[in-house]
């Protein structure tokens, strides 16, 4: 028996990841054997097929990571905006500074996402 590890799914709170039900590649599971070749449910695979499967799995995982980064950024901007609105009510004298801080964070986060 070969030493293999199943690709772990992302936490369900972030929309899930790979599973037999939603595998974007169509295989029932994706195994990463220690030999470096992928094995899908015991079906014979060529090296080219294994490489294509690995590339597709990597691209799907990268896309989920980008989505998680975008969701986290949106959550952070929402929290900062709510904090800005609260502080404008509590200490209205700092309204321009609060807005500048939130705007700067938002622009910086967007620039970081674009660079990735």
* pLDDT, tens digit, 9 for 90 and up, residues 11-22: 444 444 444 444
For helices 47-90 and 95-115, what crossing angle results, to 10°? 180
Domain boundaries, the chain: 4-115
Q: What are the b/e assignments for 10-29, b being 16+ CB within 10 Å? A: eeeeeeebbeeeebeeebee
pLDDT at position 74: 96
Q: The pTM is what?
A: 0.56
pLDDT at position 50: 85
8-state DSSP, 91: -
Which residue has better confidence, 29 or 67?
67
Instruction: List, as one string, the DSSP characters of 18-30.
Output: --TTT-TT--S--
Residue whose entry in the numeric block shows the structure tokens 């996402």: 113
User: Per-residue pLDDT averaged across 103-108, rounded?
Assistant: 96
Give the pLDDT confidence of 52-97 residue by residue, as tens digits. Answer: 888 999 999 999 999 999 999 999 999 999 999 999 999 999 999 9
């Amino acid at each position: 028996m070969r030493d293999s590890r199943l690709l772990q799914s992302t936490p369900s709170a972030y929309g899930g990841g790979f599973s037999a039900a939603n595998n974007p590649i169509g295989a029932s599971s994706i195994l990463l054997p220690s030999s470096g070749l992928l094995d899908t449910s015991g079906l014979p695979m060529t090296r080219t097929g294994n490489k294509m499967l690995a590339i597709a799995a990597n691209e799907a995982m990268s896309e989920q990571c980008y989505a998680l980064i975008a969701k986290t950024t949106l959550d952070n901007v929402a929290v900062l905006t709510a904090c800005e609105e609260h502080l404008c009510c509590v200490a209205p004298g700092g309204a321009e500074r609060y807005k500048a801080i939130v705007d700067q964070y938002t622009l910086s986060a967007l620039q970081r996402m674009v660079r990735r």
